[in-house]
A and B are shown apart, each in its own frame.
Chain A
Amino acid sequence: MLNQKQNFLKGIIKDNPVFVMLLGMCPTLGVTSSAFNGLGMGIATLFVLLMSNIVVSLVKSQIPSKVRIPAFIIIIASFVTIVEMVLEAYIPFLFEQLGIFIPLIVVNCLILGRAEAFASKNNLLSSVIDALGMGIGFTVALTLLGVTREILGSGSIFDFRFVSENANTLILFILPPGAFIALAYLTVLFNKVSTKTS
């Protein structure tokens, strides 16, 4: 049991996909101009990661190792298509906001990386827990970055404004350069906290 707990926690802290492993940087930087977008992208990625890890771990013995990467890509792409259609039908607002980054979940190196490095070698339960840990780690990181940028850039949090309409906010942080700068300082902070706790 202890092993599974470590398996879950490693994705959130020790091997955090964003702050430590630098995987999936495109959506991390591209959609986090607000906390809601970051959270939405995180959950969409979590879903695809979980489903692809489940399927890969179930069919791993059926796939010849030479064609495993294309096979993984097809599995991932199918779930991305599902996410794309569901979002378009039920949450069109988020679909508009995330735009091109929804189909691009396919090439998120985090998902292919976990399929290749973990799910193709481990049993179903471990793969599910690994996906949950990594997915939640990714979601937390994206939400954190989104919250930071939204507070600094628009003076609001999850669309709830806490400064007056005409207050001057640091607009830089919702523009592209702010993504890089905010992530740089969050990484420093994350490293500081995680080295202190371990």
Chain B
Amino acid sequence: MEYVLILIAAVFVNNIVLSQFLGICPFLGVSNKVSTSVGMSGAVLFVMTIATLATYLLHQFVLVPSGLDYLRTITFILVIASLVQMVEIILKKVSPALYQALGVFLPLITTNCAVLGVAILALGLEHGSLLKAVFFAIANSIGFALALIVFASIREHLELANIPKGMKGVPINLLVAGLLSLAFLGFTGLV
């Protein structure tokens, strides 16, 4: 039951993009086509899960016992950056098909604040455990995927719409994101 609540909270109530504002760059940047947004979501799901697993273990077994908690930011970003590189190399070797699909998105993920954000947020979970942290990461990447794919499908339709000149491009996208966020606000109080 607890895990169901985490899932609902992460996907709908505290959606990582639309109410916590993490990962806005890929949200605005790679959402012009549904197909690319699906690829990006896949890459985020993959990296976020592994990164949270690695950083949680690092924090619990290295940083806390040795009293180096203040090095959290610097170690986490290094772990994530090298992990992304490693995933890229392994995928290229093991599964060329998956690499084809996710490859171009992987380098972008290092500076995706959603990955580092979730890794840090996962440390603050109530009654935290490794399993819970990993589940939290998966739930959040599903939330990311939902927001990104819905937004991309709206943007595909927006291409055909007649938009006032001054609103074209960035402003209309932000406005759509605002309305989407307003819709997600309706889930408040669900959990």
Residues of A within 8 A of B23 (CB): 26
Range of interface residues on B (Cβ < 8 Å) = 35 or more
**B residues 49-98 in Cβ contact with A at 8 Å:** 70-74, 76-78, 81-82
Q: Is B117 interfacial (CB 8 A cutoff)?
A: yes
**B residues 87-145 in Cβ contact with A at 8 Å:** 110-113, 116-117, 120-121
Whether A81 pairs with B71 at a CB distance below 8 angstroms is yes
Whether A26 pairs with B185 at a CB distance below 8 angstroms is no
**A residues 166-198 in Cβ contact with B at 8 Å:** 172, 175-181, 183-185, 187-188, 191-192
Residues of B within 8 A of A124 (CB): none
- Interface SS majority for chain B: helix
**A residues 1-60 in Cβ contact with B at 8 Å:** 22-23, 25-27, 29-30
* A106/B116 contact (C-beta < 8 A), A74-B74, A180-B174 known: yes
Q: Is B20 interfacial (CB 8 A cutoff)?
A: yes
* A181/B74 contact (C-beta < 8 A), A100-B117, A103-B120, A109-B25 known: no
CA distance A190 to B110 in the complex (A): 30
- CB within 8 A of A184: which of B72, B112, B175? B175
Whether A84 pairs with B21 at a CB distance below 8 angstroms is no
CA distance A100 to B70 in the complex (A): 14
Whether B25 pairs with A26 at a CB distance below 8 angstroms is yes
Q: Is A144 interfacial (CB 8 A cutoff)?
A: no
Q: Is B19 interfacial (CB 8 A cutoff)?
A: yes
Q: Is B172 interfacial (CB 8 A cutoff)?
A: yes
Q: Is A77 interfacial (CB 8 A cutoff)?
A: yes
Residues of A within 8 A of B166 (CB): 188, 191-192
Q: Is B5 interfacial (CB 8 A cutoff)?
A: no
Residues of A within 8 A of B28 (CB): 22, 25
Expressed in whole angstroms, the minimum distance between the Cβ of A80 and any Cβ of chain B is 6
Q: Is B171 interfacial (CB 8 A cutoff)?
A: yes
Q: Is A163 interfacial (CB 8 A cutoff)?
A: no
- Interface SS majority for chain A: helix
Whether B175 pairs with A181 at a CB distance below 8 angstroms is yes
CA distance A117 to B24 in the complex (A): 21
Whether A30 pairs with B172 at a CB distance below 8 angstroms is no
Interface bits B164-175 vs A (CB < 8 Å: 1, else 0):
001100111011
* A73/B116 contact (C-beta < 8 A), A29-B24, A188-B167 known: no
Whether A25 pairs with B116 at a CB distance below 8 angstroms is no
Interface bits B1-27 vs A (CB < 8 Å: 1, else 0):
000000000000000001111111100
Q: Give chain B's interface residues, CB within 8 Å of chain A.
A: 18-25, 28, 70-74, 76-78, 81-82, 110-113, 116-117, 120-121, 166-167, 170-172, 174-175, 177-179, 181-182, 185
Supply 25 A–B pairs (Cβ within 8 Å), ascending by A.
Answer: A22-B28, A29-B24, A69-B81, A70-B78, A73-B81, A77-B73, A103-B72, A104-B22, A104-B116, A107-B113, A107-B116, A109-B111, A175-B185, A176-B21, A176-B185, A177-B181, A177-B185, A178-B178, A180-B174, A180-B175, A180-B177, A181-B174, A181-B178, A184-B172, A184-B175
